Structure 1
Amino acid sequence: MPRLIPQPDEMPSSIFRYLVARATVVLVLMAVVAGASILALLQARMDNSILADMHVPRFRSAVHLSMDANAAAALSVRMSTASSQGERRSLLDRLAERHQAMEERIAQMVDSGVDSASVVSIRRLRDGLMDGAVAISAIAQEEITLRAMTVKNPAVQERLEELEQRRRNLILRQQDLSSELSGFVTALASEAGRHFDDQREISGRTALKAVAVVGACALAAMVAVIWMYWGLRRHVVDRILALRAAMLNWHGGAVVVPREGNDEITQMSDTLVDLIATVERRNAELEVMASTDPLTGLTNRRRFAERADEEIRRAQRYDVALTLIVGDVDHFKAVNDGWGHDVGDLALRHVASIWRDQLRDVDLSARIGGEEFVALLPETPLPQAEGVAERIRAAIAATPLSTEGVAVMHLTISLGIAALLPGETLTDLMRRADQAMYRAKHSGRNVVRSAT
């Protein structure tokens, strides 16, 4: 029976009062430490806020604007080699997106305090880039149209050469504009970087002061904690460590915990004994639940996989035979649809009972889902396993299921067999057995087929 845990006012007062007195002293000191630390950190936060709100956005916007400008110039060059109207339109759409992104960066720079003359220059260069891109797009469109003409003549060839020359000139102009814009925003980024470094130096000095204040307060708090620690060591910590050692050394079964007097720690020890007994009982129940299919009582899929991996390793280590049987109840969906899931559950229990009875104690049988059953036969070669599978099939076919309110039901099962090959995993073995079972299904059901 679990022991009742007493309320604080019912507990022995020795440890409780000892903790309250020393905790009060430490809490008061910590409140002083927290107040001084908060004041110092608030000043550092204000300096960092100036840094984050003014200089960082300007620097970031300048860097992104330079990247967008370079990307726009690169897209212009790519557009000059577009081989279809679809590719040209796609590149034009991407240029429009870059144009919009650059406008957003410029707006951010305006918000961060960039002067209007610089903004006008940036917009002029940005618009020049976009105008050049549109012109290159028009040239690409005309070139695609001319190249698609089936009849070639000197006039067309001359026009293509003219367009090629215009395109080269525009590309050179795009590169110049991109370089000019990149240089411009690089200068802005450098200026923002200098302001950033200056403000960061101010923030660093403020943070240094804050660290000094916090360090002094932390030192005082540390002294108080050490004082409290040594006071608690003999009365509380040593006994709790002994209790912890008892818990760590517990590997199942009864546990011996230290008892001294009748205070809170002794009550914890008694409660631990009760808890361990409960855990032992629940673990045993959970182990059964976790490894068993609740409907049929066979091993479930998870536990089967664990055991099967062990058997496969053993078979490969000692070079002994290992065979897997996979069975699937025929027309089980018709049973569920025609008679309901309750009857379907009865049918699965019926098949599971026969399945289990036809196997040895050393064989591992399981229901792995739905109407599918498996059996792993250690040290059993394929011919012998075929006989076991045939015996299972014949027993299920010869044993009708009779339930109240339902006509006598004759069930059958299709089975596939696979023998373990060198180097195979459980997944490989299951796949080959499944394939053999599906061949049994396609062969008219109620038969046994072996993997090749």
Structure 2
Amino acid sequence: MLTVMKGPLRFFRRSLTLKIFTICFICVHIPLIAFIIYLASGFSTETIPLLGLMLGATLAGTGICLATLWWLIRPLRKLARAVNQYQEDGQPFEIRHRGEDEIGTLSSAVEAMVSEMDGAMKRLQHQATTDPLTGLGNRRWLSEQVSEEISRAVRRRASMSVILCDLDRFKKINDGYGHDTGDRVLVAAGDVIRRHLRHNDLAARIGGEEFCIILPRTKLKDAEMIAERLRSALAVLDIPPLMRGDVTASFGIYQASTGETLEQMLLMSDKALYEAKRGGRNRVVRANELETAGDRHSPPEY
């Protein structure tokens, strides 16, 4: 008997249409059922009691129908709220309804689709803001992050410094040893920078062989110490077929004034980087100590 009933019950669980039809059919016939029971029980057949019975049974059937349908589509309302919330805050959601009917199927499909879409969006966001070779941020990412750090520095009246790093004679490495070697140099430089970052520091590759490091709550002398450590670490890299010491970098550092933009900070640190290149490369120069630029010689070969 149980085996015979299992098929219809499974079909009933999986069919929202059948559930709604069954609920409506039963509720519509509640007045008739009540009338039959009333007569079978031998109660009076006077008009007023019968009208009262039919009215009460109709109201009861309507209430039961509405309450049952409300409960039946409750997961659909939860799904709608979850989708609206996802549109507002972008957080993926989980629907706990695991019914076998169309609502359960829809809930599972929407949940899976949102989860997949959220993962794809995060991957695209990562690709859009990350340098694929070094794994550091790119210029777009740096601009977004620095805006928050500048606002925080203004509120807290905190110092902020920037390090601009450019690998020396990188074009000669590419031309003489090939772009594969040049890529390995960039990857190694990115690893060195990453190892020397503190928790709140921001590092990005903003050009071919140029890196930028933002140092929140850091004064110029501390930025110089960090830049010197980076310079020393790069100078001892061993990347065959290059000899140790073939990879060096020049650094321009600058302590920003309150409220300066990233472009202003990069402009000042670039002036210091220019002086480091012109002064022989493989050195650190402070932008804050440079005198007003006068006539310059021809730009050095980077």
Question: What is the Cα deviation at residue 433 of structure 1?
Answer: 0.8
Q: Within 5 Å, give how 1:10-25 maps onto structure 2.
A: none
Q: Which residue of 1 aligns with 2:258?
A: 422
Q: Is the 8 A contact 1:298 1:352 kept in 2?
A: yes
Contact 1:258 1:266 in 2 (8 A): yes
Residue 323 (structure 1) aligned with residue 154 (structure 2): no
The 3 A distance-change label for structure 1 pair 273 and 423 is closer
Contact persistence 1:311–1:378 (CA under 8 A): yes
- Structure 1 position 12, deviation (Å): 7.0
Give the Cα separation in 1 of the matches to 2:231 and 2:85: 51
- Structure 2 residue aligned with 1:249: 85
Is the Cα–Cα contact under 8 Å of residues 16 and 101 in structure 2 kept in the other structure?
no
Cα distance in 1 for partners of 2:85, 2:258 equals 42
SS at match of 1:384: helix
- CA shift digits 1:154-213 (9 cap, x unpaired): xxxxxxxxxxxxxxxxxxxxxxxxxxxxxxxxxxxxxxxxxxxxxxxxxxxxxxxxxxxx
SS in 1 for 2:133: coil
| SS state at 2:101 partner | coil
Amino acid across the alignment from 1:310: E
Q: CA deviation at 1:324?
A: 0.2
- Residue of structure 2 aligned with 1:444, choices 274, 277, 280: 280
Do residues 402 (structure 1) and 239 (structure 2) align?
Answer: yes
Partner of 1:383: 221
The CA deviation at 1:356 is 2.2
Would you say 1:267 and 2:105 are equivalent positions?
yes
Alpha-carbon spacing, 1:446–1:238, altered in 2? closer, same or farther (3 Å): same
Aligned to 2:59: none
C-alpha distance in 2 between matches for 1:407 and 1:261: 65
Task: Please give the TM-score of this superposition, normalised by the length of structure 1.
Answer: 0.44
Offset of 1:363 from its aligned partner? 1.6
CA distance in 2, matches of 1:239, 1:360: 47
From 171, 179, 183, give the equivalent of 1:345: 183
Q: Tell me what 2:194 maps to.
A: 356
The question of whether the paired residues in 1 share the 8 Å contact of 2:150 and 2:259 is answered with no
Distance in 2 (CA, whole Å) between partners of 1:238 and 1:360 is: 50
Query: How far apart are the structure 2 equivalents of 1:279 and 1:259?
Result: 21
When residues 387 and 238 of structure 1 are mapped into structure 2, their CA distance, relative to the original with a 3 A threshold, is closer
Measured after TM superposition, the shift of residue 288 of structure 1 is 3.5
> Alpha-carbon deviation of 1:430?
1.1
How far apart, in 1, do the equivalents of 2:75 and 2:116 lie?
24
**Alignment CA distance shift 1:338-1:268 (3 Å):** same
- Distance in 2 of aligned mates of 1:339 and 1:414: 21
Q: Indicate how the Cα distance of structure 1 residues 243 and 360 shifts in structure 2: closer, same or farther if over 3 A, else same.
A: closer
Amino acid at match of 2:211: F
> Structure 1 240/381 Cα, relative in aligned 2: closer, same or farther at 3 Å?
same
CA deviations 1:77-116 (Å, max 9, x no partner) are xxxxxxxxxxxxxxxxxxxxxxxxxxxxxxxxxxxxxxxx
Computing the radius of gyration from Cα coordinates, the structure with the larger value is 1
| Cross-structure match for 2:22 | none
| Partners of 2:216 and 2:140 in 1: CA distance | 19
Structure 2 SS opposite 1:345: helix
Q: Which amino acid aligns with 2:266?
A: M
Q: Does 1:310 align with 2:148?
A: yes
- Letter of the 1:294 counterpart: P
% identical equivalent positions:
37
1:90-101 mapped onto 2 (5 Å cutoff): none
Gaps of 5+ in 2: 1-13, 19-68, 289-302
Q: Give 1:365 deviation, angstroms.
A: 1.5
**In the alignment, residue 237 of structure 2 is paired with which amino acid?**
P
Deviation by residue 1:393-415 (Cα, 9 ceiling, x = unmatched): 12212x13332xx2425111111
State how far apart, in whole Å, the 2-side matches of 1:342 and 1:253 are. Answer: 40
SS at 2:187 equivalent: helix
Contact 2:173 2:181 in 1 (8 A): yes
- In 2, the alpha carbon distance for the partners of 1:277 and 1:240 equals 18
Aligned length: 221
2:202, 2:185 → 1: CA distance? 21
Match for 1:420: what amino acid?
A
- Unpaired segments ≥5 residues, structure 1: 1-10, 16-233
Q: How does 1:16-415 map to 2 (within 5 A)?
A: 243-250=79-86, 252-256=91-95, 262-263=101-102, 265-397=103-235, 399-403=236-240, 406-408=241-243, 410-415=246-251
CA 320–239 in structure 1, closer or farther in 2 if over 3 Å, else same = closer
String of CA shifts for 1:317-370, please: whole Å, max 9, x gaps: 211111000010010011111111111000111112222223322221111121
* Distance in structure 1 (CA, Å) of the matches to 2:93 and 2:77: 19
* Offset from partner CA, 1:42-85 (integer Å, 9 cap, x none): xxxxxxxxxxxxxxxxxxxxxxxxxxxxxxxxxxxxxxxxxxxx
Q: Distance in 2 between matches of 1:388 and 1:447?
A: 12
Secondary structure, counterpart of 2:251 in structure 1: strand
Aligned partners of 1:238, 1:439: CA distance in 2, in Å?
Answer: 69
Which one has the bigger helix percentage? 1
CA deviation after TM superposition for structure 1 residue 280, in Å? 3.6
